[in-house]
Copies of this chain bind each other. A is one copy, B any other.
Amino acid sequence: MLTTIKEVSGHVGKEIKLGGWLYNKRSSGKIQFLQLRDGTGFIQGILVKNQVSPEVWERANNLTQESSLYVWGVVREDSRAPSGYELDVTNLEIIQIAEEYPIAKKEHGVDFLMDHRHLWIRSPRQRAILAIRAEIIRAIQGYLDTNGFTLVDPPILTPSSCEGTTNLFHTKYFDEDAFLTQSGQLYMEAAAMALGKVYSFGPTFRAEKSKTRRHLIEFWMIEPEMAFVDHEGNLKIQEELVAHVVQQVLANCEQELKTLGRDLSALEKVKAPFPRITYDEAVELLHREGFTDFTWGDDFGAPHETKIAESFDRPVFITHYPTEVKAFYMKPDPNRPEVVLCADLIAPEGYGEIIGGSQRIDDPELLKQRYEEHHLPLEAYQWYLDLRKYGTVPHSGFGLGLERTVAWICGLDHVRETIPFPRMLNRLYP
C-alpha cells in the first residue's frame, strides 16, 4: 500500500512507502539528499550511509533524474523543509533508471520545452499550474452547483456559428459541413428555458492567426445562462463567482502559489463587490491617460484594458458598450438603445478580459431585425428565434475564459502554460 506525499502529514513518526520519481539529488559524502516527487507533491528523502545497507546506498547512487522507484522511510516534521516534512529513507527499490533526461537543469527555449510538454508538465512549476487549474475548475463548479445551476453540455460540432463564420475550424460531417464551436451560448439559452439556471464547461475553438500571450486556438470556457436574471443579477453572480474562486485557491493551493512565487496580497483583495465603470467612463479615463485617439465606438485592445485595470485593485466591470461593437444578441439599454446591457470583466495586473456577458434580447421582433442587420440566415437561426416565440423571458449569461483566469490567478506571462497541451499557431504537437 502506497502513501502519497500529500498525505505524509498524517504519518509523522511512522514508516511509509512511496512510489515516485527522483526529481533531483545532491550528496555530501555520507548523506544523499533525494528530491522525490509522486505527482501529489515533492519531499526530500535523506539517506545516511551508515544507516542503510550498502545495496540501498548503491542504488541511490545510481539514480538519474526521473528514475522511478519505491522508497520506504520515516516521516519527520521539519520546519525548514518547503513542504514542512522530510523522509528518513530506510530502503529503496529501483523500478527504472531513466535515460538522460532531455529537460536538464539549464535554461531551455520555449519551443524546446513545448516539444517536450509531455515531460515538462512534471516540473514543480508546471505541476503547480495544472493543480491550480484543477482547483479553479472545482471552485467554479462548486459555486454554480450550490447556487442552483445545472451542468449542460452544448454541442461541439455545429451547423452554423454564433459570431460569424470567419475564424472557424471546418470539417466534413458525412455529407454536410460542420464547424467547431466558438461558444455554446445560443444552445445554453435554449437549455436555460428548460432548466432555469444552467452552465457549460467545455472546449471552444478560434482559428485566429494571432500570436499574443492571451490567445490559444483551443481553450475552455464556462458559460452560465440564466432565465429570469437581468443585467444587474448577472453582474452579481459574476463577482461572487470570481471572488469565491480566488478565495478557494488561496485556501487550498498555498504550496502551489508559493512554488509560482505569486504575490498573494494582490489576490487577497479580490472580494465582491467589484468596481464598475461604464464604457463612456472608460473612454474618458483613456483620454485622460493619453490614449487621445481612442474614439467612442472603438473596442478596447489589450493596452486599453491594462490601463483601465491599473486604476483598480480588483477586477473591474466595464458596462454599457456601444451596440455596434457587441454581438447581435445583446439587449439594448431601454433608456439608451445605442448601448447594450453588457459587461466585460477585466482582471487586475494587466491580465485583460476574463468574462464577457450580457442580458439577451428577449423581444422576437428586435431579434429578427438583428438577423437582418447582421445578415444571419433565418433558416439556420430559426430555432434560436423560437426561444422568443414560445414564452420569452428576461435572461442573461456570460462566458468565463478558463485559461486567462488561470494565467491571472497564477500570475503567468503567457496563457500557453495554463493548459496541459496548448494549441497555438504552429503548435499542434504533442
Contact mask A177-213 → B, CB, 8 Å, 1/0?
0101000000100111111110000110101010000
The residue on B at minimum CB distance from A201 is: B201
Q: How far is the CA of A137 from the CA of B68 in the complex (A)?
A: 34
Chain B residues near A148 (CB-CB < 8 A)? 4, 6, 40
Chain B residues near A205 (CB-CB < 8 A)? 156-157
CB distance from A395 to the nearest CB of B (A): 10
CB distance from A256 to the nearest CB of B (A): 11
Q: How far is the CA of A390 from the CA of B67 in the complex (A)?
A: 6
List the number of copies, as a whole number: 2
The answer to whether B209 touches A393, judged by C-beta atoms less than 8 angstroms apart, is no
**Segment of A126-134, A298-306, A367-375 in the binding face:** A126-134
Contact mask A236-271 → B, CB, 8 Å, 1/0?
000000000000000000000000000000000000
The answer to whether A194 touches B426, judged by C-beta atoms less than 8 angstroms apart, is no
Contact mask A408-430 → B, CB, 8 Å, 1/0?
00000000000111010110111
Contact mask A96-130 → B, CB, 8 Å, 1/0?
10110100000000000000101101100011001
Whether a CB of chain B sits under 8 angstroms from the CB of A153 is yes
CB distance from A364 to the nearest CB of B (A): 9
Whether a CB of chain B sits under 8 angstroms from the CB of A31 is no
Q: How far is the CA of A4 from the CA of B227 in the complex (A)?
A: 11
Q: How far is the CA of A153 from the CA of B275 in the complex (A)?
A: 33
CB distance from A162 to the nearest CB of B (A): 13
The answer to whether B155 touches A423, judged by C-beta atoms less than 8 angstroms apart, is yes
Taking a contact as CB atoms closer than 8 A, the residue among B121, B203, B425 that contacts A191 in the complex is: B121
| Given A171-B180, A421-B187, also A194-B39 (CB < 8 A) | yes
Q: How far is the CA of A98 from the CA of B180 in the complex (A)?
A: 33
Taking a contact as CB atoms closer than 8 A, the residue among B119, B141, B391 that contacts A96 in the complex is: B391
Q: How far is the CA of A197 from the CA of B98 in the complex (A)?
A: 21
Whether a CB of chain B sits under 8 angstroms from the CB of A164 is no
**Segment of A43-51, A331-339, A343-351, A381-389 in the binding face:** A381-389
Taking a contact as CB atoms closer than 8 A, the residue among B152, B386, B419 that contacts A118 in the complex is: B386
The answer to whether A150 touches B134, judged by C-beta atoms less than 8 angstroms apart, is yes
Q: How far is the CA of A145 from the CA of B139 in the complex (A)?
A: 12
Whether a CB of chain B sits under 8 angstroms from the CB of A176 is yes
| Given A39-B227, A171-B169, A420-B187, also A96-B137 (CB < 8 A) | no
The answer to whether B156 touches A118, judged by C-beta atoms less than 8 angstroms apart, is no
Taking a contact as CB atoms closer than 8 A, the residue among B21, B68, B151, B192 that contacts A138 in the complex is: B151
The residue on B at minimum CB distance from A188 is: B420
Whether a CB of chain B sits under 8 angstroms from the CB of A220 is yes
| Given A118-B386, A148-B6, A428-B159, also A393-B68 (CB < 8 A) | yes
CB distance from A229 to the nearest CB of B (A): 9
Q: How far is the CA of A389 from the CA of B131 in the complex (A)?
A: 25
Whether a CB of chain B sits under 8 angstroms from the CB of A353 is no
Whether a CB of chain B sits under 8 angstroms from the CB of A217 is yes
CB distance from A184 to the nearest CB of B (A): 9
CB distance from A38 to the nearest CB of B (A): 6
CB distance from A287 to the nearest CB of B (A): 38
Whether a CB of chain B sits under 8 angstroms from the CB of A313 is no
Instruction: List 4 tightest A-B contacts by C-beta distance, closest first.
Output: A39-B196, A68-B391, A118-B190, A383-B430
14 contacts between A and B (CB under 8 A): A2-B228, A19-B393, A39-B194, A95-B391, A118-B383, A121-B191, A126-B194, A141-B141, A154-B421, A155-B423, A158-B428, A174-B207, A174-B425, A202-B202
Known: A118-B190, A156-B180. 5 other contacts (CB 8 A): A118-B387, A130-B194, A155-B423, A156-B218, A157-B169
